[in-house]
Amino acid sequence: MKNRSLSVLLITVFSISSVTADAQKIYLSPKGNDNNSGTFENPVASLNKACEAFIPQVAYYDSYFEQLYVNGRRATRAKSPNEEFYFVKKVEETVAETGTERMAQVAVQKIIVDSTDAKSIAGFTDQDYEDALIVFYHNWDNTRKRVLSFSKAQSAFFIAGEGMKPWNPINGKSRWLIENYRGALDSPGEWYLDRSGYLYYIPLPGETIQNTVFHAPILKEFINIKGESSDKPVSNIRFENLAFEVAEYRTPAAGNEPAQAAAPVGAVITLDYAKNISFNNCDIA
């Protein structure tokens, strides 16, 4: 008979702050418990537990963020599928308020999809319904919406907002994916931030504590210069040797209506009633 001994795996995980990563040793064992502290004597049981990194600013000061940069690369929020897209089978729309435009002012869309593709939504938690986003790609537009509810029997989920535009509706030719829910965290390079303050990240091959830097943006705009009027502008301001990088964007509670790329998103540098403003040797990314 082979001797069976308790195997304990030592894992170095990333404890992430806004700009740096600190090392922490977590011990993992098949006979561990995720309620344990992660020491050698009291190992945890799963990789998910081992990969926690707590950020108090998120938990206590409403500093939730939707972008994370790892070594200058924008990391991928946990999503399904990991590659390619799912496809919509059929859409049914119920109009609540017609309005005066070509599309309804308020409507609910029932999105019917393949039952296999819908399995992820079927397992949603209350937090997933609040934070997860369905991203649709339909012709030249993309739409980002929260899921209101899910019908397993009909393999359908429901979204709401404006009525679909008749010239570019979501239909059987549209593609979609789901992002930002913990159940989708399963591939290297993906990350997920829980509202409780825990950030989960699966490192890419070769990424270590020593060679990895994280940036989480918290500013929506870098510069806003505004004069009083065209007759009283702000003038003669010069910026030199500055770098502006990785601005924040937070998705509205209701999601985003159809748009081309980021057309409705405000600029990070705004000049209004301004003249003779120069940027010399500045990097804006």
Q: What are the tens digits of pLDDT across the range 149-201?
A: 999 999 999 999 999 999 999 999 999 999 999 999 999 999 999 988 888 88
Q: Identify the band that residue 4 occupies on the pLDDT scale cut at 50, 70 and 90.
A: very low
Write out pLDDT tens, residues 78-105. Answer: 999 999 999 999 999 999 999 888 889 9
Percent of the chain with pLDDT over 90: 60
State residue 23's pLDDT score.
41
State residue 219's pLDDT score.
87
Average pLDDT over residues 117-127: 93
Q: Identify the band that residue 17 occupies on the pLDDT scale cut at 50, 70 and 90.
A: very low
Cα–Cα distance for residue pair 39/253, rounded to 1 Å: 40
Write out pLDDT tens, residues 200-222. Answer: 889 999 988 778 888 888 888 99
Q: What is the mean pLDDT of the chain?
A: 85
Is a pLDDT exceeding 80 seen at residue 46? no
Is a pLDDT exceeding 60 seen at residue 5? no
Write out pLDDT tens, residues 254-281. Answer: 999 999 877 888 889 999 999 999 999 9
Q: Identify the band that residue 38 occupies on the pLDDT scale cut at 50, 70 and 90.
A: low
Q: Identify the band that residue 2 occupies on the pLDDT scale cut at 50, 70 and 90.
A: very low
State residue 49's pLDDT score.
59
Q: Identify the band that residue 47 occupies on the pLDDT scale cut at 50, 70 and 90.
A: low
Cα–Cα distance for residue pair 265/210, rounded to 1 Å: 35
